[in-house]
Every structure is written in structure tokens, then in C-alpha cells.
Amino acid sequence: MKGRNGNIAGCRMVAALFTVLALIFWAIPSIAGAMAGQMQDLIGRLNAKYADFDKKMNNVIIKTVEHSGASETKMKIYRKNDKLRVESLPELPGVRLKNPDALGTVIIWDGSSAWMITATGQKKIPGVTKDTFQAENNWWKEIARGAKISGEETVGGRQCYVIGIARPKARFDRIWIDKNDLVMVKAATKSPGGKRLEWLFSDFKNIGGWDVPFKTETLMSGKVVSTSDIESFEFGRELPDGLFVPPGNSGQ
């Protein structure tokens, strides 16, 4: 039972990680800002404009801090080609530990498998595939499938298209796209328990020619439950391959 619970916890942590990554990369300029008759033309323009996105946004280092209630979690995300490393460290208010790093967790996607590393050791996380970690890549193509405009709304002072996504297993069922800047400023879906989940993106900054949201608010049933802020976003500096190899596998 202990092993099963560990696997469940690992899967939940990976699911949370996917959400963080998707919110960072999916919120960069999106394709769905057009009526049905304009969709194909816009897809073509954006495919051409962002054809080198993965190439330029390689060797990425992102530092974030997430606030949830009184607790705080700092994360450092490394991305290189199809590999990923995420280091997270929670800080508990009023709690002093001899070794605070003992609470830290590292998740590594080495290109074929996912690993979770804690102070007690490392374990392979089952049920994770390359498709799961590559979900944020070529997102403009993903949104195009099964998406249509359902109306217009103002979000955070921005006039937005409301895009409904009916595709099975889509990350979101509705997104809000700024009509002028073509950035995603809001996204929504239902939790497994049926509650409404929403994400609001703001504080956009230009990084390498793309607008990146440096602030993300997560809402459940209309109430803010956490806020995530990007402290730094760096790309282009070659990352060592060893970052993406679990310690116990370094000799393989």
C-alpha cells in the first residue's frame, strides 16, 4: 500500500507540474483569434511566425514562486530539447527545519521516462509518456483542432475572443484570447471532481520576441487558491546534459 500511495503522490505531482508548464508555454501568443472562415489563414501566419519557437526557446531556465494560503513553493525549471528538470522547495510558515532542503523534490523527464527524486531516494513514475511532457509544444496546432469562437468578453481590460475547445483530453475546454496581441489571458476547465478551474494570466513581458505571462492566478469555483509569479526567465545558455539524468542512472 505504501508503494501504491507513493506512485499516486508522484503522479499527482507530475500532473501539477504539467499544469505549471502548460500555463507558461500555452499562454504565449495563441492561434485561436479568428472566426471560422479566418482560422486557416491565421494558423498559417502563426505557424510561419512561430516556426522557430522551440529552437529559440531551448535551454530554458525559469524561476517561479507560488503562493497558496500562507505557504510558498519555489520552483526552478530547466528545459532542453525534449528533456525537463523541475526542482521545487516548499517553505512552511512558522516551521524551522535543520535541513530545509530535505523537503525539496526534483522531477526529471530524461526523454523516455519520468523520475521523482526526494531526500529518501528516487523512483520512476509510471504512466508518463513523451506525449505528456510534449503537450505544450506546437500548442497553436493543438488548439486549432476542435476549437471554435463562441463569443467575445473583456478580461483584465483586454477585449478577448472566447474559444471553446471540444476535443477529448484537451487541457482546457475554454480559453480567452486577446484580439489584438493574440495572447491567452484566461483558461478554464473542470477538475476531476467537477469543480470549475480557471487560470488568469497577466504581467506580460517580452522575452525573445514572445509575450510571456509573469503572473498566473489559479481559481477554483471563482475563488483564488494560488498565485504564481515568474522571478526570472532565461534562455539560450547551453545546459549540461547531466541535469536531466537521475543520480542513480548517471553511470548507465
Paired with 232 in beta bridges are: 63
d(CA 59, CA 82): 10
Given a cut of 60, whether residue 212 has pLDDT beyond it is: yes
d(CA 32, CA 35): 8
Given a cut of 70, whether residue 141 has pLDDT beyond it is: no
Q: State the CB neighbour count (10 A cutoff) for residue 77.
A: 21
C-alpha 69, offset from chain centre: 21
Distances (CA, A) of 83 to 43, 112, 163, 175: 27, 9, 30, 27
Given a cut of 60, whether residue 120 has pLDDT beyond it is: yes
Q: Which range has the top average pLDDT, 29-38, 179-188, 213-222?
A: 213-222
pLDDT tens readout for residues 8-50: 444 444 545 555 555 555 555 444 434 555 556 656 666 666 6
Q: State the CB neighbour count (10 A cutoff) for residue 205.
A: 12
Question: What's the predicted TM-score (pTM) here?
Answer: 0.75
Q: What domains are there in the chain, each with its CATH number?
A: 2-249 (2.50.20.10)
Instruction: State mean pLDDT over 88-115.
Output: 81
Q: Classify residue 136 by its DSSP letter.
A: T
pLDDT for 19: 54
Residue 14 and residue 125 in contact, taking contact as beta carbons nearer than 8 Å: yes
Paired with 61 in beta bridges are: 78, 234
Given a cut of 90, whether residue 157 has pLDDT beyond it is: yes
> What SS3 state is found at 64?
strand
pLDDT for 144: 64
**Window from 20-24, 73-77, 112-116 with minimum mean pLDDT:** 20-24
Instruction: State mean pLDDT over 92-106.
Output: 74
Q: Classify residue 204 by its DSSP letter.
A: E
> What SS3 state is found at 178?
strand
Task: Please give the residue that has the higher pLDDT: either 27 or 238.
Answer: 238
Residue 75 and residue 20 in contact, taking contact as beta carbons nearer than 8 Å: yes
Unique residue bearing C-alpha cell 532565461: 234
Classify residue 23 by burial, with Cβ atoms within 10 Å: 0-12, 13-18, 19+.
buried
